[in-house]
Structure 1
Amino acid sequence: MKTILIPTDFNAERVKIIDALVLTNKPQNINIIFMHAFGLSDSISDMLMLSRRSKDYENISDDFYTQLEIYRQKYTNHIQSIEIEYFYGNTVAAFKNFIDGVNADCIAYPKDYNFDKINKYSINPKTLTKRCGCEVIELDVHEFSKEEKLFDTKMPQENIKVLSA
């Protein structure tokens, strides 16, 4: 079983990377962890409230959760779990500890990845993933989504012959 960490801004379009991950890792089952990185504040009150970060989950849209559920159902035989985690820190050493804690085997980005902040403490994960020592892969999400559409095509209604009983 392979665990893949995916940095995200929780945009529903980012979920399309799951198609590419499943197709490139078949027949192996995978665990997927969507992750967003936050830098730590210098404020002592922010540090004290770090354990009460449930409000960070408000940054995740209902559309993102809906897309995750669609992919869970679509790939029930290939995806063991899909999780959402937050990383709080500014250093590569802290990020390495995070990677070890979630047992990530690799980090995956879509080829056209653009970092978008979800709040003022968001940090670009590429600064951490470049130097963390974990394998980083880039996948062309559009290439795999085009292949997927080939299977979803339907025959036009006028070409279907109706059998009379």
Structure 2
Amino acid sequence: MKTLLVPTDFTYQSLQSIPTIAQQYYPQKLNIVLVHMLKITDSISELLMLSRRSAEYRHIPDNFYIRCRELEKDYSHLINKISIDFFYGSTLAVFNNYLDGHQIDGIVTPHDNYQLLFKNSIDPQILITRCGKRIIPVTETAGLMTDVFAGDPELIEQQ
């Protein structure tokens, strides 16, 4: 079983490549780790408040969670699990430790309109290109670039 990291900004666009990537690895099932990257603060008071790490999860739209579960169900023959995580750090060494700890086999490139959501968000491309892991390029599909914040996933699929 392979594990792939997919940079996410919690939009539908960051999920649209998952079925295509999963089909490329068939018959092997995939674990998908959706990650948003944040640099860690240098403020001592913020570092002492470890509960802040869970605060970012409150910014993930419900529609994003719903779409992840739908993908797991609809592609259960291709996908074992989809998980959502945050990476905290900004150095290559810390990123490589994260990749090793999660047993990441490859990294999907971020979509074209990837957005930095928080003031401490970092561009994932900076670390991805230097990490030494297999990079899986994704071609964008026209007509499916709708943001998950915009509404109902059924409406998005009809476009």
TM-score bracket for the superposition, by shorter chain length: 0.7 to 0.9
Structure 2 unmatched ranges of 5 or more: 145-159
Q: How high is the TM-score relative to the length of structure 2?
A: 0.84
1:105-144 to 2 correspondences below 5 Å: 105-109=105-109, 112-142=111-141
Deviations 1:58-83 (A, max 9, x none): 12111111111111110112111110
Q: Alpha carbon RMSD of aligned pairs, Å?
A: 1.6
Question: 1 or 2, which has the higher helix percentage?
Answer: 1
Q: Is the 8 A contact 2:3 2:106 kept in 1?
A: yes
Letter of the aligned partner of 1:115 in structure 2?
Y
> Identity, % of aligned pairs?
39
* Aligned-partner Cα distance in 2 for 1:128–1:95: 7
Q: Is the 8 A contact 1:59 1:118 kept in 2?
A: no
Q: Is the 8 A contact 1:20 1:141 kept in 2?
A: no
Aligned pairs, number: 143
Letter of the aligned partner of 1:74 in structure 2?
D
Letter of the aligned partner of 1:26 in structure 2?
Y
Q: Is the 8 A contact 2:7 2:14 kept in 1?
A: no
* Aligned-partner Cα distance in 1 for 2:13–2:138: 14
Structure 1 residue 114: Cα displacement = 2.9
Structure 1 residue 128: Cα displacement = 0.5
What does residue 91 of structure 1 align with?
A: 91
* Aligned-partner Cα distance in 2 for 1:71–1:64: 11
What does residue 162 of structure 1 align with?
A: none
What does residue 156 of structure 1 align with?
A: none
Structure 1 unmatched ranges of 5 or more: 146-165
Letter of the aligned partner of 1:54 in structure 2?
S
Q: How high is the TM-score relative to the length of structure 1?
A: 0.81
Secondary structure, aligned partner of 1:139 = coil
